Amino acid sequence: MIEGCSVSPADPNPDVHPGSVARPDWWKSAVVYQVYPRSFADSDGDGVGDLGGILDHLDYLELLGVDVVWLSPVYRSPMADNGYDISDYHDVDPLFGTLEQLDELIAQLHARDMKLVMDLVVNHTSSAHAWFVESRSSTDNPKRDWYWWRSPRPGHEPGSPGAEPTNWGSAFSGPAWTYDDRTGEYYLHVFTPHQPDLNWENPEVRQAVYAMMRDWLDRGVDGFRMDVINVISKVVGPVGADGRVTLPDGVVGGERDPRWPGVVDTDVFADTPAFVLNGPRVHEFLQEMHRQVFAGRPPGLLKVGETPGCPVEEAVLYTDPSRDELDMVFQFEHVDLDSGPKGKWDIRPMTMLRLKESFGRWQNGLAEVGWNSLYLGNHDQPRCVSRFGSDAPEHREQSAKALATVLHLHRGTPYIYQGDELGMGNPGFTRLEQLRDVESLNHYATAVARGENPADVSRALAYKGRDNARVPMPWDASTGAGFTTGTPWLDLHPLSGSVNAAAQVDDPDSVFSHYRRLIALRHAEPCVAHGTFRMLLANHEQLYCFERSFDDTRLLVVANLSSTADVVPDLSELVAWSSAEPLIASVPGSSPTPTDPLAPWESRVFRLT
């Protein structure tokens, strides 16, 4: 039994326990842990994390109590985007290990009542994938239409700026088309030129993807996190003179599509999201995928879709169980709250009120139908403590706990990004040379080329760049932080000496132990997974409070998401209780009541009767 918590972390999750027939919605009481393999643990000393490193740390994940591991890509890849550019879906990249090790990981996780969810990256492949190599070989190759090849814009010198078939911009800077002088045509890539988009209009493409997915399910994986899955259906125009559907131009310099304030330079390009997000056939494709891949398989699989630019009403369509599409989606609204009109790098202050407003709307929007995924961080976002909390030394730990308390007690499935359970903050990059992420480096080059002040661009990258999340996992205080015996591919976190797993796993007051308590509570208390949600004090600038109710159980969550001391929650008008049993208290040794003043970043959970 962990001090300060009435449930034992050892209690397995009844909905996930292999002994029990999995509920179709088992994932409502599950907690998912995201592993970014490059940065988790290196077992062969080459400075890059790998499957061997993950196998070496399964006891850690079991101790934490998570039910599912989401593994970011480990497939063969030229690593133009750290694996989100796949050249062979059926093999593991030697950098990460072997297929045998992956089979071992599946077996070992299953032996520990845990599941493995693979990353499915099928909006695009790598330009090194055999499909694309064939497709680009000639205009009449049978796989030509597996990708989006189009002729240069008439009246323009092929390969010259403006000759692209449409004026769409890439999400990683520059145009969304690259000229291939071998066949005199352009191919589409919403991300880098090394990530050509698959043409999902072509049924052969869809069948090839479904076959690959079935192979992985037959191999024992328990589901997929589907990369930018709401980008697979493009807005197409009428069939053109070349017998292929046309793709429409957008308005250059027009309003930026607020749904996905990526980095498309709308002064030069049209805002691509308008033509690729939640496209006309996306639901049809997902329902077909369900029929051809998941239907008839035992419950217990997870389908989570990454859906940038997905509004609440669209999320209901994706996650309504009666539509057989997805179990839940990663929506981006709260991770774009600090993006200004010029997009992701136009940094605006993140406010708790705006976070509360957004989360509250998503809780209400999917209260009856659909399901939320709950996350504050992942491999594409800066560390949540630095962005939503406070990484000031005196507040970092409590704010890490408070963010976790608030997130994990919402209605939805929580996702922990590796290192958040240790309270890791941004490392404080100061030099461009420290960065490795293609999105950040492309943005720096493009922004400086168009005259932006390099120092301003560097500041934006240091605050919001994806490398913030990709700093190697600090396992202990040794030279290589227990991550590697070699030279890490990305600098270790400057606080690895004090903020590391070894320093926390046996400390009942650590951020790690706080996460264990929250996970144990979700496993033991059905109200956490299945209860209704009611926001309280919606306009309070410091407090984030809400009530969860299920049958005759009521839970009250009270958190001070500010550095202000002695904040008193006036809940008298809103909630009635005769007794309030503290279930989670972030301040060690405290036994608070619901109306006691809260210290900076203090958080509490009560069972009300």
CB of 437 to ligand TEU, least distance (A): 8
CB of 73 to ligand TEU, least distance (A): 9
Long-range contacts of 345-352 (CB under 8 A, 24+ apart): 345/263, 345/443, 345/447, 345/457, 345/460, 345/461, 345/464, 346/261, 346/460, 347/459, 347/460, 347/463, 347/464, 350/387, 350/388, 352/388, 352/541, 352/542, 352/544, 352/561, 352/562
Binding mask 340-379 for ligand TEU (x = CB under 6 A): ----x----------------------------------x
Of 86, 95, 228, 499, which lies in the binding site for ligand TEU, with binding defined by CB under 6 A? 228
Question: Measured from the CB atom, is 308 or 569 closer to ligand TEU?
Answer: 308
CB of 81 to ligand TEU, least distance (A): 5
CA distance 519 to 1: 13
Question: Measured from the CB atom, is 386 or 405 closer to ligand TEU?
Answer: 386
Of 15, 50, 380, 391, which lies in the binding site for ligand TEU, with binding defined by CB under 6 A? 380
Binding mask 479-518 for ligand TEU (x = CB under 6 A): ----------------------------------------
CB of 470 to ligand TEU, least distance (A): 10
Of 74, 105, 121, 447, which lies in the binding site for ligand TEU, with binding defined by CB under 6 A? 121
What is each CA distance from 474 to 53, 392, 458, in whole angstroms?
Answer: 13, 19, 25
What residues have CB less than 8 Å from 273, skipping those under 6 apart?
257, 259, 260, 262, 264, 308, 309
Identify which of 366, 409, 414 has the alpha carbon closest to the alpha carbon of residue 536: 409
CB of 379 to ligand TEU, least distance (A): 6
Q: Which pair of structure tokens corresponds to residue 262? A: 């990526």
Binding mask 254-283 for ligand TEU (x = CB under 6 A): --------x---------------------
Identify which of 30, 48, 66 has the alpha carbon closest to the alpha carbon of residue 470: 48
Binding mask 462-481 for ligand TEU (x = CB under 6 A): ----x---------------
CA distance 302 to 25: 9
357 is catalytic: no
Reported in sequence order, the residue ranges of 75-188 that DSSP labels E, i.e. its strands, are: 75-76, 88-92, 115-120, 149-150, 177-180, 185-188
Number of chain positions touching ligand TEU (CB under 6 A): 15
CA distance 470 to 418: 9
User: Phi first, then psi: what are they for 173, rounded to 5°?
Assistant: 75, 150
Pairing of strands 553-560, 373-374: unpaired
Question: Measured from the CB atom, is 53 or 83 closer to ligand TEU?
Answer: 83
Considering the candidates 306, 467, 525, 547, report the single residue annotated as catalytic.
Answer: 306
Q: Is 545 in the site for ligand TEU (CB under 6 A)?
A: no
CB of 494 to ligand TEU, least distance (A): 23
CA distance 124 to 141: 19
Of 196, 308, 343, 389, which lies in the binding site for ligand TEU, with binding defined by CB under 6 A? 308
Question: Measured from the CB atom, is 15 or 314 closer to ligand TEU?
Answer: 314
Question: Measured from the CB atom, is 13 or 192 closer to ligand TEU?
Answer: 192
What is each CA distance from 343 to 251, 331, 335, 460, in whole angstroms?
Answer: 16, 17, 12, 11
CB of 48 to ligand TEU, least distance (A): 16
Q: Is 197 in the site for ligand TEU (CB under 6 A)?
A: no
Question: Measured from the CB atom, is 262 or 427 closer to ligand TEU?
Answer: 262
Q: Is 191 in the site for ligand TEU (CB under 6 A)?
A: yes
Binding mask 144-183 for ligand TEU (x = CB under 6 A): ---------------------------x------------
Q: Which of residues 70-89 bind ligand TEU (CB under 6 A)?
A: 81, 84
CA distance 461 to 259: 21
CA distance 159 to 116: 44
User: Phi first, then psi: what are they for 361, rounded to 5°?
Assistant: -70, -40
CA distance 543 to 355: 12
User: Phi first, then psi: what are they for 581, rounded to 5°?
Assistant: -90, 120
Burial class from Cβ neighbours inside 10 Å (0-12, 13-18, 19+) for residue 499 reads buried
Question: How many angstroms separate the first and last alpha carbons of the chain?
Answer: 23
CA distance 41 to 319: 34
Q: Is 439 in the site for ligand TEU (CB under 6 A)?
A: yes
227 is catalytic: yes
Question: Measured from the CB atom, is 129 or 516 closer to ligand TEU?
Answer: 129
CB of 174 to ligand TEU, least distance (A): 14
Question: Measured from the CB atom, is 461 or 598 closer to ligand TEU?
Answer: 461
Buried b (16+ CB within 10 A) or exposed e, 298-312: eebbbbbbbbbbbbb
- DSSP H helical ranges for 290-430: 312-319, 352-365, 384-387, 396-408
Question: Measured from the CB atom, is 177 or 601 closer to ligand TEU?
Answer: 177
Question: Measured from the CB atom, is 136 or 379 closer to ligand TEU?
Answer: 379
Please give the angle made by the CA atoms of 407, 411 and 414, to the nearest 5 degrees. 45
- Residue 533 identity (one-letter amino acid): F
CB of 208 to ligand TEU, least distance (A): 18
Residue number of the CB atom closest to ligand TEU: 84
CB of 447 to ligand TEU, least distance (A): 14
Question: Measured from the CB atom, is 377 or 412 closer to ligand TEU?
Answer: 377
Please give the angle made by the CA atoms of 140, 146 and 147, to the nearest 5 degrees. 95
Tell me which residue has tokens 């593994």.
71
Considering the candidates 15, 119, 164, 227, report the single residue annotated as catalytic.
Answer: 227
- By CB under 6 A, name the binding residues for ligand TEU: 81, 84, 121, 171, 191, 227-228, 262, 306, 308, 344, 379-380, 439, 466
Catalytic residues: 227, 306
